[in-house]
Amino acid sequence: MEQSRVIERIEEILDESKIGVLSTAKDNVPNSRYMWFYNDGLTLYAKTNDQSPKYDELEQNPKAHILLGFNDTNNNAFVEISGSVERIDDQDTIDWLWEKQDKTFFDSKENPHLKVLKVTPDEIKIMNDDEEPVEITL
């Protein structure tokens, strides 16, 4: 599959799938949790609480792995994303995410503990998509 079609397919899966697994590590111990993700192209965003363990884990090690898809796609396709995570407290980004996201976990976009995780992919792999796994490096 040519790279433009791979990117198009990845974006289709990201547009369909909002709940995924974010895995981080602290002191070489993995930690995974379900999160809501929203994409702008291949870049992912998720709201978080700056008092959560993942927030501290990402300060020590900004690398993460994400699984998105499977149950949300008609053929159980999903993506595996490895990338770098930035902890964002920019109000414009928070406002954008607040408009796109579910309204759970925070009562208001002005909550002082509401922050955003921005995931910039290094590698993305499409799995279970009617072909052999396809991987791109960005």
CA 24, chain centre distance (Å): 12
pTM of the model: 0.90
CA 110, chain centre distance (Å): 22
pLDDT at 71: 78
pLDDT digits (tens, 9 = 90+) for 28-44: 899 999 999 999 999 99
pLDDT digits (tens, 9 = 90+) for 109-121: 888 999 999 999 9
- Could you give the number of structural domains in the chain? 1
CATH code, domain with 15: 2.30.110.10
Q: Which domain holds residue 10?
A: 3-137
Contact 119, 46 (CB under 8 A): yes
Q: Which tokens go with 104?
A: 């759970």
- Phi–psi pair at 112, nearest 5 degrees: -65, -15
Q: Which tokens go with 7?
A: 């990117």
Task: Spell 8-47 as b/e; 16+ CB within 10 A means b.
Answer: ebbeebbeebbebebbbbeeeeeeeeebbbbbeebebbbb
Per-residue pLDDT band at 8 (split at 50, 70, 90) = very high
